[in-house]
């Protein structure tokens, strides 16, 4: 794994660029991402390009032996472009234009903006595509940040109608698939279809999920346009996008399919404050982040990148954008870097080199203080660079599968968010609960899309596979390991229609049962079944199979047919951990129970152990018992 940094030469006097480059190299950094927010400097006036400054900046980095990841600047179209073409702006759900003044102020469906996106990327790629320092490109920046996937603009409406007409042979077919007869929502033609906002009450979920899929597809095609230009003018370079954490507003897999590397932006403390699940969690992990937060995303984006993934932005101190912005525990910058290494990252790049003294991110820590002196994280980066060097060639670890594949489906997730049927039904949260349960058992996990090969896994878990997929059913029939099917699996088609055979649809060929009812419950009303406590969601199952246990009111709990398990309720964390541990043991996967902050991760022949706290933990290592304080880790060669 290499270390990198995000750098904005346009923010600093040119006289300081050389010493910046020299210090980067000294601290152990080898890759620098730059350029993604500087359109107004590339083209301060229409067609008036200024590339020389960036040439000079890249040359200076190159002279220090640093490699460059160049960002296309389309997240920030300049004001003159917005003034020329106000209709490139997106429209929010309330129908208001989302204007200039921050970033991501464009609508993915704007044809005019797409022309300008292609133009500026082409110009930039022609300038820098074959520069020897440029080893990779980042397309745009954080697609969807600030809820920008969806736009309800006139352009989006036009494109959505077109998309609908491509999905269906006729408007009658759409009416039928969407069940528009319900409440007389039938259309006479495709041009009668509106974007799904500003209705009196809940819109047809089929309509809303279709719009979600359309919006997601717009991101993929926008990205593909840039990819196509970059492939042509900058051959041989890695193409990458920087995805975000806890973000499911578009389907990442089709976007990733045209790229080489999945990047993601890791802010463990910032993300913690988005955990509305558990107020105590925000206190316990205040200065470390939740022990499963970054790892989950590492494992997810490793799957998105088909093995190739980078942490392209790594928090190096307090950030500026969370409700509360604490400083990390001393040592966490090293810890997070090593954690990325342990999960197989090729690169860990810190955001940012130097704290900016002003603007929106004035309070966002950098490796340097605003005045250019080293900040608290600087020394930690130096140390972790040395440690990684001492470990040798860990960058190219073998891509052996983990014991467990957790299937994650963005469309399935969106389907549940479209029609949750209970305010506390959180499909992302449930997926992460399953992940946490596995990791507390000391087990490594691959998070995979539906459709990926399952050979080599001992267990497959369906977390949010809401949409019936006969192909997956067939794949699972052929799979020899344990299959754990979570609640609401295969409970609808992509048009939000329950299967004719009821849920779990085609999975009934794996396990003979059907869901005849369900209920959502307030958190304060758990339901017990034997040693387990269900909450929030519970399904009433009809089956000839005897349930493994009964709820207090006689509903069955947990159905098993051979190695196939149907879990017909959400379980509370403790129960879920016990339930998963039983399944792992039955599958003869080694379970190593972990304290709340302890995590085991094996990568190639290296075994890593991390302790996020809150207490010190004593572990058994080949060199004997070893104490890990909060924020500490260790590793050893597996024999």
Query: Binding pattern to a second copy, positions 401-430, x when CB under 8 A?
Result: ------------------x-xxxx------
367: which 2 tokens?
């490796």
CB of 229 to a second copy, least distance (A): 20
User: Cβ of residue 73: shortest distance to a second copy, in angstroms?
Assistant: 7
Residue range at the interface with a second copy (CB under 8 A); choices 33-41, 64-72, 343-351, 593-601: 33-41
169 burial (CB, 10 Å; 0-12 / 13-18 / 19+) is exposed
Stretch that binds a second copy, among 27-35, 294-302, 494-502, 557-565 (CB under 8 A): 494-502
Stretch that binds a second copy, among 25-33, 159-167, 303-311, 489-497 (CB under 8 A): 489-497
- The two three-digit tokens of residue 396, written as one number: 């190219």
| CA separation, residue 546 to residues 244, 511, 531, 580 (Å) | 43, 12, 17, 20
The answer to whether 473 and 507 are in contact (CB under 8 A) is yes
Please identify, using beta-carbon distances, which residue of 75 and 463 lies nearer to a second copy.
75
Nearer to a second copy, 153 or 601 (CB): 153
CB-based burial, 115-133: b 16+ in 10 Å, e otherwise: ebbbebbbbbbebbbebeb
From 184, 390, 478, 623, residue interacting with a second copy (rule: CB under 8 A): 184
Contact map string, positions 42 to 61, toward a second copy, x by CB under 8 A: --xx----------------
Q: Which is nearer to a second copy, 42 or 479 (CB)?
A: 42
Three-class secondary structure assignment of 321-376: CCCCCCCCCCCHHHHHHHHHHHCCCCEEEECCCECCCCCCCCCCCCCECCCCCECH
Member of 15, 52, 188, 623 binding a second copy (CB under 8 A): 188
Of 50-58, 62-70, 305-313, 512-520, the window that binds a second copy (rule: CB under 8 A) is 512-520
| Ordered DSSP codes for 488-557 | TTT-B-TTS---TT-TTGGGGGTS-EEEEEEEE--TT--EEETTEEEEEEEEEEEESSPPSEEBTTS-EE
Of the residues 324, 399, 546, 585, which one makes contact with a second copy according to CB under 8 A: 324
Stretch touching a second copy by CB under 8 A, among 181-189, 293-301, 332-340, 392-400 = 181-189
| C-alpha 359 chain-centroid distance | 27
Structure tokens at 309: 């993934």
Q: Is 24 left (phi over 0), alpha (psi -120 to 50) or beta?
A: alpha
Q: Which is nearer to a second copy, 2 or 97 (CB)?
A: 97
155 is an active site residue:
no
The yes or no reply on residue 10 touching a second copy (CB under 8 A) is yes
Q: In the complex, what is the shortest distance from the CB of residue 175 to a second copy, in angstroms, rounded to a whole number?
A: 9
* 186 binds a second copy, rule: CB under 8 A: yes
Enter the tokens of residue 415: 């389907």
Check residue 185 for interaction with a second copy (CB under 8 A): yes
Q: 617: number of CA atoms within 13 Å, CB side? A: 22
- Interacting stretch for a second copy, rule CB under 8 A, among 62-70, 154-162, 366-374, 556-564? 366-374
Per-residue tokens: 251: 């389907």
Asked if 552 interacts with a second copy (CB under 8 A), we say no
Between 30 and 568, CB nearer to a second copy:
568
Residues 77, 88: contact at Cβ < 8 Å? Answer: yes
Please identify, using beta-carbon distances, which residue of 377 and 511 lies nearer to a second copy.
377
- CB of 456 or CB of 522, closer to a second copy: 522
Residue with Cβ nearer a second copy (228 or 498): 498
| Residue of 63, 173, 192, 629 interacting with a second copy (CB under 8 A) | 192
Active site residue 417: no
Task: List the structure tokens of 609.
Answer: 């152990």
Nearer Cβ to a second copy (501/605): 501
Nearer to a second copy, 117 or 306 (CB): 117
Interface with a second copy (CB under 8 A), residue from 521, 576, 580, 612: 521
Query: Is-contact 69 260, C-beta < 8 A?
Result: no
The reply to whether 199 sits near a second copy by the rule CB under 8 A is yes
Nearer to a second copy, 377 or 447 (CB): 377
Q: Are strands 532-543 and 513-520 parallel, antiparallel or unpaired?
A: antiparallel
Task: Work out whether 525 is an interface residue with a second copy (CB under 8 A).
Answer: yes
Subset of 426-485 contacting a second copy (CB under 8 A): none
Inter-CA distances, 586 with 115, 384, 435, 481, Å: 56, 39, 18, 10
Binding map of a second copy across residues 262-301, x = CB under 8 A, - = no contact: -----------------x--xx--x---------------
CB of 98 to a second copy, least distance (A): 5
Single out the catalytic residue among 36, 142, 339, 346.
Answer: 142
Q: Which of 151, 149, 207 is nearest to 180 (CA)?
A: 207
The CA distance from 490 to 416, in Å, is 11
Provide the 8-state DSSP code for 639: -
Least spacing, CB of residue 631 vs a second copy, in Å: 11
Measured from the CB atom, the residue of 11 and 25 that comes closer to a second copy is 11
Tell which positions 574-633 bind a second copy, by CB under 8 A: none
544 near a second copy, rule: CB under 8 A: no
Q: Which residues lie below 8 Å from residue 319, measured CB to CB, with a gap of 6+?
A: 267, 269, 270, 325, 363, 364, 365
> Cβ 535 to a second copy, closest distance in Å?
11
Number of residues that bind a second copy (CB under 8 A): 109
CA distance 469 to 489: 10
Q: Give the pair of three-digit tokens for residue 618.
A: 């004593």
Query: What is the C-alpha to C-alpha distance for residues 601 and 340, in angstroms, rounded to an integer?
Result: 11
- Near a second copy by CB under 8 A, which window of 15-23, 393-401, 440-448, 497-505? 497-505
The two beta strands, 606-611 and 632-637, are: antiparallel
Q: Which residues are CB-neighbours of 466 under 8 A, at least 6 positions away?
A: 409, 411, 412, 413, 415, 416, 427, 488, 489, 490, 491, 492
Does position 637 interact with a second copy (CB under 8 A)? The reply is no
- Interface with a second copy in residues 72-111 (CB under 8 A): 73, 76-80, 83, 90, 94-105
Phi, psi at 395, each rounded to 5°: -65, -35
Binding letters toward a second copy, positions 114-153, x by CB under 8 A:
-------------------------------xx-x-----
- Exactly one of 43, 249, 313, 539 is catalytic; which is it? 313
* Residues classed as catalytic: 142, 313
């Amino acid at each position: 794994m290499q270390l990198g940094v995000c750098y904005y030469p346009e923010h600093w006097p040119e006289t300081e660029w050389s010493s910046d480059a020299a210090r980067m190299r000294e601290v152990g950094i080898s890759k620098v991402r730059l350029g993604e927010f500087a359109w107004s400097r590339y083209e301060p006036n229409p067609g008036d390009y200024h590339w020389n400054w960036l040439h000079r900046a890249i040359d200076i980095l190159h002279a220090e032996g640093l490699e460059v990841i160049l960002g296309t600047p389309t997240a920030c179209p300049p004001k003159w472009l917005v003034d020329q073409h106000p209709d490139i702006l997106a429209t929010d759900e309330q129908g208001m234009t989302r204007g200039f003044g921050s970033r991501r102020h464009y609508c993915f469906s704007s044809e005019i903006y797409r022309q300008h996106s292609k133009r500026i990327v082409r110009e930039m790629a022609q300038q820098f595509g074959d520069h020897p320092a440029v080893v990779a490109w980042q397309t745009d920046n954080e697609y969807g940040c600030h809820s920008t996937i969806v736009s309800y603009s006139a352009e989006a409406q036009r494109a959505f109608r077109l998309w609908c007409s491509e999905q269906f042979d006729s408007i009658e077919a759409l009416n039928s698939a969407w069940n528009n007869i319900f409440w007389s929502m039938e259309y006479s033609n495709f041009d009668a279809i509106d974007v799904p906002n500003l209705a009196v009450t809940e819109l047809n979920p089929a309509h809303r999920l279709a719009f979600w899929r359309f919006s997601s597809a717009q991101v993929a095609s926008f990205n593909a346009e840039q990819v196509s230009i970059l492939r042509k003018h900058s051959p041989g370079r890695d193409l990458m996008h920087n995805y975000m954490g806890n973000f499911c507003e578009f389907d990442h897999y089709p976007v990733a399919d045209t790229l080489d590397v999945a990047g993601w932006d890791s802010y463990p403390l910032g993300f913690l404050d988005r955990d509305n699940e558990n107020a105590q969690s925000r206190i316990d992990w205040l200065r470390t982040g939740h022990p499963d937060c970054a790892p989950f995303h590492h494992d997810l984006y490793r799957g998105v990148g088909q093995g190739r993934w980078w942490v392209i932005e790594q928090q190096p101190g307090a950030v500026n954008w969370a409700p509360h912005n604490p400083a990390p525990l001393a040592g966490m910058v090293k810890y997070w870097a090593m954690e990325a290494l342990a999960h197989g990252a090729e690169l860990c790049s810190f955001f940012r080199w130097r704290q900016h003294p002003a603007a929106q991110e004035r309070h966002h820590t950098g490796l340097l203080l605003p005045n250019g002196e080293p900040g608290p994280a600087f020394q930690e980066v130096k140390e972790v660079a040395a440690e990684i060097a001492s470990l040798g060639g860990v960058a190219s670890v073998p891509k052996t599968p983990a014991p467990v594949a957790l299937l994650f489906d963005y469309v399935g997730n969106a389907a549940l968010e479209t029609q949750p049927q209970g305010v506390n039904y959180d499909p992302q949260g449930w997926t992460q609960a399953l992940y946490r349960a596995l990791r507390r058992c000391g087990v490594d996990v691959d998070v995979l899309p539906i459709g990926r090969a399952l050979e080599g896994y001992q267990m497959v878990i369906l977390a949010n596979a809401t949409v019936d997929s006969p192909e997956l059913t067939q794949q699972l029939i052929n799979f020899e390991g344990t299959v754990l099917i979570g609640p609401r699996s295969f409970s609808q088609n992509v048009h939000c229609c329950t299967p004719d055979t009821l849920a779990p649809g085609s999975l009934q060929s794996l396990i003979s049962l059907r869901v005849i009812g369900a209920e959502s419950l307030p958190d304060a009303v758990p339901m017990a079944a034997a040693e387990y406590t269900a909450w929030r969601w519970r399904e009433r199952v009809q089956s000839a199979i005897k349930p493994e246990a009964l709820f207090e009111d006689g509903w069955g709990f947990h159905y098993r047919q051979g190695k196939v398990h149907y879990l017909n309720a959400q379980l509370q964390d403790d129960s879920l951990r016990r339930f998963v541990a039983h399944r792992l043991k039955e599958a003869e996967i080694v379970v190593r129970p972990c304290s709340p902050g302890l995590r085991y991760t094996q990568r190639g022949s290296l075994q890593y152990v991390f302790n996020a706290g809150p207490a010190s933990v004593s572990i058994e290592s080949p060199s004997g018992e070893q104490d890990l304080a909060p924020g500490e880790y260790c590793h050893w060669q597996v024999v």
